[in-house]
Amino acid sequence: MELSNRKQIIVMNIFFVFFAVLFLIVAPNVSAQEGEVCIVYFTGDACGDDCKLTDSFMDGLINEYIENLLAIKYNIDLSQENKNIFEAYRRTYNLPHEVPLLLFGENDYISGMYNIFRNAEPKIYGLISTNGTNCPLDSGYVPPGNVDPEVLPGDPEVYESDEGESPGEGEGGSDSETGEEEKGEDFPVDLEDIERILREDQTFLVLLILVAVLIAGFLVFLLKRR
């Protein structure tokens, strides 16, 4: 009798550990209401290493969250028009003069290399996990899905989730076509694909939970028979 009780305790412990691990994996993906976030990033050549280092950091950050991110990047030293656009943004959203600067909305920005390093990713992740944001254009707010990169003023670099183009790639068709071909040749599903499925496909998560419930029911059935 004591041996049977010990078996029951062991099986129940395995049961609870299994569901605890399942909850830690699934709960963050189910509870998060992901939305598309739009950011406008201003950089320049005249600010030297601060902008160069921040550019590299932002390139990696944009690439990491590209599935839920629309990023518009202006180099204010690239042309006089870009300088004028930055001034228009400054008047519309009450921005300081300095770059690098990451804009989310009126009085909602991060400026300076160290501040962007510390705060940009938590800010973007938090906005994605809630409802997303509209795009703060120089003319006002626009939903990310309504932004047409072809009609944006000046000479911006645009990275959007629909195309999945990663920072640093050229705007010409040859780079994007090459990227599509290389992606198509990768037959095995990589970890990023699995992570995206877990994050975005709620049906898959529901099926995973149902399988776990069936396993739990089977364990309970075995315990009752013993």
- Which letter does DSSP use for residue 166 in this model? P
Co-location of 126 and 214 in the same domain? no
Q: Which domain holds residue 75?
A: 37-185
Co-location of 127 and 17 in the same domain? no
- pLDDT tens per residue, range 173-194: 334 343 444 444 443 444 555 5
Co-location of 134 and 89 in the same domain? yes
Pick the more confident residue, 214 or 102: 102
**Contact indicator for 152, 158 with CB cutoff of 8 Å:** yes
- pLDDT tens per residue, range 7-35: 666 666 666 666 665 555 554 444 434 68
- pLDDT tens per residue, range 93-147: 999 999 999 999 999 999 999 999 999 999 999 999 988 999 999 989 999 989 9
Mean pLDDT computed over every residue of the chain: 78
- Cα distance between residue 142 and residue 153, in whole Å: 14
Co-location of 8 and 44 in the same domain? no
In percent, how much of the chain has pLDDT > 70?
62
Distances (CA, A) of 170 to 62, 77, 178: 15, 19, 11
Co-location of 219 and 116 in the same domain? no
Q: Which residue has the tokens 């992901």?
A: 34
Co-location of 72 and 88 in the same domain? yes
Co-location of 14 and 68 in the same domain? no
Indicate yes or no: pTM above 0.75.
no
Average pLDDT in the 145-162 region? 90
Q: How confident is the model at residue 209 (pLDDT cuts 50, 70, 90)?
A: confident
Residue 76: what pLDDT?
Answer: 97
Co-location of 42 and 27 in the same domain? no
Residue 202: what pLDDT?
Answer: 55
First and final C-alpha spacing in the chain = 10
- Phi and psi, residue 64, nearest 5°: -70, -40
CATH code, domain carrying 97:
3.40.30
Co-location of 111 and 194 in the same domain? no
- Cα distance between residue 4 and residue 16, in whole Å: 18
Residue 15: what pLDDT?
Answer: 62
- Structural domain count of the chain: 2
Co-location of 64 and 173 in the same domain? yes
| Secondary structure class of 60 (helix, strand, coil) | helix
Co-location of 113 and 215 in the same domain? no
Above 60 in pLDDT, residue 156? yes
